[in-house]
Amino acid sequence: MDISNWTRKSLLGIEELSYNEITQILELAKLFKKETEGDMSNKDYLRGKRMVNLFMEPSTRTRIAFEVAAKSLHADVISVAEQSSSLTKGETLRDTAMNIQALGADAIVLRHSSPGASLFLSKIVDVPIINAGDGAHEHPSQALLDLYTLQDKLGSVEGKKITILGDILFSRVARSNFWALSKMGAEVTLAGPSTLVPKQFESMGARVSHNLEEALQDADAVMLLRIQHERQSSSHFPSLAEYTKIFGLNKDRKQWLKKGALILHPGPVNRGVELDSELADSPQSVILDQVSNGIAVRMAILYLCTMQGATSL
């Protein structure tokens, strides 16, 4: 596969990517997905590359998926969590990253609570930075795996109606997905309570809805987001129970969905809050496809960023 068009060293967000770049990542992911179904023992594309997972916020799926992706390509993986790093001794992110670079890292996968943290780091160190979530700003690998999953099921997202439902305000997943989906030609509706889905999102080009029935009608897919109660003060909505009552997706509300509409969730799912188990485990749900597709997508990201300058796979 020709990868000579890929010129980015770091993957910081979806907003800056072109249609062609997104397509290129997904095409390579498709190739890797196929390869992972076979024997990977001799597919040592990243042998000798050292990848550091620098996770300053809790993560299960993303951290493990990056680790599995890197190991599948035979890269060496070192995982650093905030609690076990010198950041707890007052070392700054800048110094930690510069030390990691000095220790010979070939890529840093960063999860951090500050919006723009990956961009900040990319200006300090020379190694590729892969944004694994920066505050409420972007989570590009999640959006790419969501897009991969949607394309896999729907063929293409062009002209499709996708609703993202829940806590949009504090969600990096929502922002990255909005960019990815709209760049690929989908119509995106952001839905949820007015305090978590401000009308100002319309200035980005999204449709905003505070009415669940209206937001679900005609949607080809619904992406639910976890209500991040750890990020919000009680001022944004009265209680989880109230949220569930007004915006939770349950059996009764399933009828508002188009037949065959897909249900996505980046996880972790709060069952019984934003999504009932019956729907989470239904044939419409592609939640586990998202997780497994996440590995192939991250293999593609790691390969493109660390092998930037190579001409073909």
Partner 1 sequence: MSITCLQGGRVIDPVNGVNNIQDVYFEKEKIIAKPSNIDSKLISIIDVRDKIIFPGLVDLRFHLKNITGGQTENILSASHAAAAGGYSSVLLMPDTSPKPDNSGTIQFIQDRILKEACVKIHLCGNLTHNGKGEQLAPLGSLQETGVIAITDCPNTTQNNQIFSKGVEYASMFGLLVIDLPRDISLSRNGSAHDGPLALKMGLGGYPRIAEELYVQRAISIAQSIDTKIHLTSISSKGSVELIKSAKDKGIKISADVTANHLCFNENCITGFNPNFKMSPPIREEIDRLSLVDALLEGTIDCISTAHTPFQEHEKNVEYDLSPAGVISFETNLSSCYQTLLGHKEFCWTKLIKAMSSNPSRILEIDSGNLSIDMPADIAVFDPNIEWEYGSRNGFSQAINSPFEKHLFKGKITQTFVNGKIAFELQ
Q: Which residues bind partner 1 (CB under 8 A)?
A: 15, 92-94, 112, 114-117, 119-120, 134-138, 169, 172, 175, 198, 200-201, 203-204
The minimum distance between CB 224 and partner 1, in angstroms, equals 19
Burial (CB count <10 Å: 0-12, 13-18, 19+), residue 225: buried
The minimum distance between CB 266 and partner 1, in angstroms, equals 15
If the CB atoms of residues 137 and 183 are measured against partner 1, the closer one turns out to be 137
If the CB atoms of residues 191 and 257 are measured against partner 1, the closer one turns out to be 191
The minimum distance between CB 2 and partner 1, in angstroms, equals 32
If the CB atoms of residues 92 and 194 are measured against partner 1, the closer one turns out to be 92
The minimum distance between CB 277 and partner 1, in angstroms, equals 30
If the CB atoms of residues 208 and 302 are measured against partner 1, the closer one turns out to be 208
Q: What is the DSSP string of 116-172?
A: THHHHHHTT-SS-EEEEEETTTB-HHHHHHHHHHHHHHHS--TT-EEEEES--TT-H
CA dist., res. 157 & res. 164, Å (int): 14
The minimum distance between CB 114 and partner 1, in angstroms, equals 4
CB of 55 within 8 A of CB of 173? no
Q: For the stretch 108-131, what's the b/e string if a residue is b when 16 or more beta carbons lie within 10 angstroms of its beta carbon?
A: bbbbbeeeebbbbbbeebebbbbb
Please tell me what DSSP assigns to residue 83: G
Nearest-Å Rg of the Cα atoms of the chain is 19
- E strand or H helix that includes residue 112: strand 107-112
The minimum distance between CB 295 and partner 1, in angstroms, equals 26
| Cα angle value 186/204/226 (rounded, 5°) | 75
If the CB atoms of residues 104 and 198 are measured against partner 1, the closer one turns out to be 198
Residue among 88, 82, 80 nearest 57 (CA): 82
If the CB atoms of residues 7 and 200 are measured against partner 1, the closer one turns out to be 200
The minimum distance between CB 116 and partner 1, in angstroms, equals 3
Beta strands across the sheet bearing 107-112: 76-81, 50-55, 107-112, 129-134
The minimum distance between CB 96 and partner 1, in angstroms, equals 12
The minimum distance between CB 190 and partner 1, in angstroms, equals 11
Residue spans of alpha helices (H) in the chain: 19-36, 61-72, 93-102, 117-122, 140-154, 172-183, 212-216, 240-247, 277-280, 287-306
If the CB atoms of residues 9 and 253 are measured against partner 1, the closer one turns out to be 9
C-alpha neighbours within 13 Å on the C-beta side of residue 48 = 2
If the CB atoms of residues 204 and 269 are measured against partner 1, the closer one turns out to be 204
If the CB atoms of residues 34 and 94 are measured against partner 1, the closer one turns out to be 94
